[in-house]
Structure 1
């Protein structure tokens, strides 16, 4: 049987790479893609997702419009990194139109797809967690119907990339992140910001990757030009990734969802999200002392097999 995935995205450059990886794996079936505000406004997320699917000739995969704004937080985006359009500001005059987006709303579609495939769906969330939070409010039994949940978000060492101590996805909708980590008691795996940084790849590999002779590689090279330039700046390396290299954050969550044997080191711990701190709002809290009394613990990824991950990236673009 193929592994059934639902992707919840805010399609920027790394979401695009993650989608390409899922599409390239013959053992994966993508039931649908739900879109959320985040890296760029929802309408652009929808356009970007369709652009990625078009490159792979997979516009048959249903795309749904989810939440356009956070539950309570102020709306924010990552235009400084991903570009104003979310895909490096390289317009495509032949991009698919929004008429291809499904009429059914994203949250309702998510609930329906999980119900129709109880116990079989792995949900991969690489966006702010608004859609997931709304879904569990509408359908409290939803987490019990999932096979697993994989999240790219949060941080494990209080190192922020958006605020002093906050990672973008959790800061972009802090209340949603809190709800998801409280209510989703299915097997949950988290690829944190610091983990992706410490497992980033040499810049020389990214050059090798994007010079693969294929339409998909050419697409990724084009849309990632801005973010690669930003990532290689001295200030960005110093402040954000501590001198590391090419980091396709969301792709780590997707890769481990496809094949969890990729994970070489992890730990299980109860987590929550700080809602009130002046400097720490949006920070993921790891309860090593077990003071929260939570029974549900998540898997925090610490390291992955980078050679296997490299091969998955190469396969995704061939």
Structure 2
């Protein structure tokens, strides 16, 4: 049985760094490429950080593409208070790869091409604002039907982590989130903020995770240090429901496509994956 093909769309902060490392450590996964977007940090930082993570994992062979620098509409925002001004905990590496290592092809074009070259085989995992995905489906409306699956983040019971009702990625570009949820008629799976809160790992595991005597663990410890020290607040400026994902319990919306809301995770398996990612 062949490997699962993944295409990652990221706004690489500390959390995306963890996700990339998890994917690279999975023996049954093939990462076809990584497209970058604005979000946790500015686009240029997102690109640099992605290249830096790949260097730490000795996977410079994976192509990285520059994507959207701003949302479709509305104001720019970032999560620098949480991830650091550079997106990776303000722990710079003088030997980090430069932006000259990026592919000349843009992220949206690469996303369309890679999915088209592997019809029905690619799982698209988007862990940042969905701007690249929205632009891609506007350029190629047939793109979703070529995907094996789409995995994104959001909220379930209107419990936000950025506004009262909004999860960061949706609030950072609500219009793109709307386009993706209405036009990507492929198997869609949403890992909500509530899902993360209900399945959180204890700090004792984090200590054990970072204590591994490997270069990857030391790298994660450096970039994670800022996150562990930050006091988190809630941004409530603007309309309360902007970026809120609305669930149609009464089936009043004219949408035939249904998304799967992820609620549970095998924590022991996940712990093993986390540990393996830093070995």
Q: Which residue of 2 aligns with 1:192?
A: 192
Cα drift, residue 221 of structure 1: 0.9
Q: Which residue of 1 aligns with 2:47?
A: 46
Map 1:49-198; keep pairs closer than 5 Å. 49-152=50-153, 154-198=154-198
Q: Which residue of 2 aligns with 1:273?
A: none
Give the whole-Å Cα distance in 2 for the aligned partners of 1:26 and 1:302.
25
Q: Does 1:203 align with 2:164?
A: no
Q: Which residue of 2 aligns with 1:6?
A: 7
What TM-score does the superposition give when structure 2 sets the normalisation length? 0.97
**Structure 1 runs not aligned, ≥5 long:** 241-276
Give the whole-Å Cα distance in 2 for the aligned partners of 1:124 and 1:91.
27
Q: Which residue of 2 aligns with 1:248?
A: none
Q: Does 1:288 align with 2:249?
A: yes
Q: Which residue of 2 aligns with 1:317?
A: 278
Q: Which residue of 2 aligns with 1:256?
A: none
Q: Deviations over 1:282-316 (max 9, x none)?
A: 00011111111321111101111111111110111
Give the whole-Å Cα distance in 2 for the aligned partners of 1:73 and 1:167.
16
Q: Which residue of 2 aligns with 1:23?
A: 24
**Structure 2 runs not aligned, ≥5 long:** none
Q: Which residue of 2 aligns with 1:266?
A: none
Q: Following superposition, which runs of at least 4 residues in structure 1 exceed 6 angstroms of deviation?
A: none
Cα drift, residue 167 of structure 1: 0.8
Give the whole-Å Cα distance in 2 for the aligned partners of 1:160 and 1:189.
18
Give the whole-Å Cα distance in 2 for the aligned partners of 1:202 and 1:162.
23
Alpha-carbon RMSD: 1.1
SS class of match (2:88): coil
Give the whole-Å Cα distance in 1 for the aligned partners of 2:121 and 2:180.
19
SS class of match (2:65): strand
Give the whole-Å Cα distance in 1 for the aligned partners of 2:74 and 2:33.
27
Q: Which residue of 1 aligns with 2:239?
A: 278
Cα drift, residue 278 of structure 1: 2.8
Cα drift, residue 222 of structure 1: 0.8
What TM-score does the superposition give when structure 1 sets the normalisation length? 0.85
SS class of match (1:50): helix
Give the whole-Å Cα distance in 2 for the aligned partners of 1:199 and 1:132.
27
Cα drift, residue 45 of structure 1: 0.4
SS class of match (2:264): strand
